[in-house]
Amino acid sequence: MPTVVMTGGTGLIGQALVAVLKERGYHIKLLTRRRLANAAGVEYLSWDPQQGQLPVEALLDADYLIHLAGANIAEKRWTASRKQELLWSRTHTLDLLLDVFTHHRHQLKALVSASAIGYYDASQDRWFQETDAPGQDFLARTCVEWEAHARSFEALSVRVVMLRTGIVLSRHGGFLVPFLRALRWGVAPILGSGSQWISWIHVQDLCRLYANALITEQMVGPYNAVAPEPVTQKQLILSLAEMMKQHYFVPLHVPAFVLKMLLGEMSVEVLKSVRVSPQKLQQTGFQFSFPDIHSALTELLHA
C-alpha cells in the first residue's frame, strides 16, 4: 500500500482528497498543527512549522508528498504581517520537508503541490497558458515563490507537479457558499462590473487530478487546474439562481470602490479577470467530469 504524506489535509480540498485517496488504497499521513485522533487509513502527525518541529521518522516511508498547507487567502485582511504569513506558510513548510528528505534516506517519488491561477495577470481578453509570464501583484509573486520552493525537490530527483488551481467549487466551503447564502436571502451580488472571468474547477475533478498526478509519470511542472469553460462572475450568480430555482432576487451591484474599502488589497483578487486554459492538462488524457458550470452546479446543488 503506497503512503502519501499530505500537508494542509484538514482543509477544504484536503478533506475531499483524503476520501478519494482512501478509496484508491493509499495509506495517508496528514501533517497538521491540530491534535486529531487517527481514523481508518489516516494517521494524523503533529507538526509545528513555526517552531520547525516535525516527526522526521514518520515521514521517511512516504512514496508521495502532497502540499496543500497555507494560511487561507480570504480569511483575513492582507496586512503586512498577514501577507508574510500567507507566503511563509506555503514556502517555509516546503523548506522544512525538503530538509528532512535531503538529510535522510527516502523513497519519495513525486511531490504534487498546490499553486493558484493568481499566478497570472488580469486580462479580459487573453487565455493564459502555463508558459505565460507571471503577474506582478502580491498573489502572483506568492505563487512564483511557492512554485520555486516546490521545485527545489527536483534536486532530490523527485518529480514535481504544481497545480495552478482556479476557484474551487464545493458545497462545503470556499467561494460558492457566501453566494448561496445571499441567494437564499433573495440577493444576487454582482461584484464590480460582474464581467470578470472566473476560472473554476469542481472539487471532485480537482481531487481526481491530484490522485492522477501522483502516478502519471508524464506529468511534470505546472498545470492549470481549471475546467475548460470559465464563466463571468455575473453568469455564475445567474446560473446559481436558476439552478436554485430562485426566480425572484434583487441584483446587488457592489461597486469596485466599496469592495476596496471592505477588503483592502484582497479586493484585487475578487475583481481580477483571469481566463485560464486547461489544454496542457487535457493533453495528458485527463477528462473532466464537470467541464461546464451547469453540470458542476447540478451536482453541487442537487446530488
Ligand X SMILES: NC(=O)c1ccc[n+]([C@@H]2O[C@H](COP(=O)([O-])OP(=O)(O)OC[C@H]3O[C@@H](n4cnc5c(N)ncnc54)[C@H](OP(=O)(O)O)[C@@H]3O)[C@@H](O)[C@H]2O)c1
Using CB under 6 A, list all residues that contact ligand X: 8, 10-14, 32-34, 49, 68-73, 85, 89-90, 93, 114, 116, 165, 167-168, 174-175
CB of 297 to ligand X, least distance (A): 16
Which residue is at the shortest CB distance from ligand X? 11
Minimum Å distance from CB 105 to ligand X? 26
SS3 252: strand
CA–CA dist 95, 51 (Å, integer)? 13
Q: Give least dist CB 71 to ligand X, A.
A: 4
At its nearest, how many Å lie between ligand X and the CB of residue 287? Answer: 21
Query: Is-contact 298 286, C-beta < 8 A?
Result: no
48 CB-near residues (< 8 Å, 6+ apart): 33, 54
Q: In this complex, which beta carbon is closest to ligand X, that of residue 31 or of residue 183?
A: 31
Is the dihedral angle over the CA atoms 57, 110, 277, 244 positive or is it negative? negative
Please give the helix or strand (H or E) that residue 97 lies within, else none: helix 80-103
Separation between Cα atoms, residue 13 and residue 114, nearest integer Å: 10
- Complex with ligand X: residue 10 or 233, whichever CB lies closer: 10
| Closest to ligand X by CB, 118 or 194 | 118
Measured from the CB of residue 266, what is the shortest distance to ligand X in angstroms? Answer: 13
If the CB atoms of residues 236 and 249 are measured against ligand X, the closer one turns out to be 236
Buried b (16+ CB within 10 A) or exposed e, 142-173: bbeebbebbbbbeeeebbbbbbbbbbbbbeee
- Of residues 47 and 249, the one with the C-beta less far from ligand X: 47
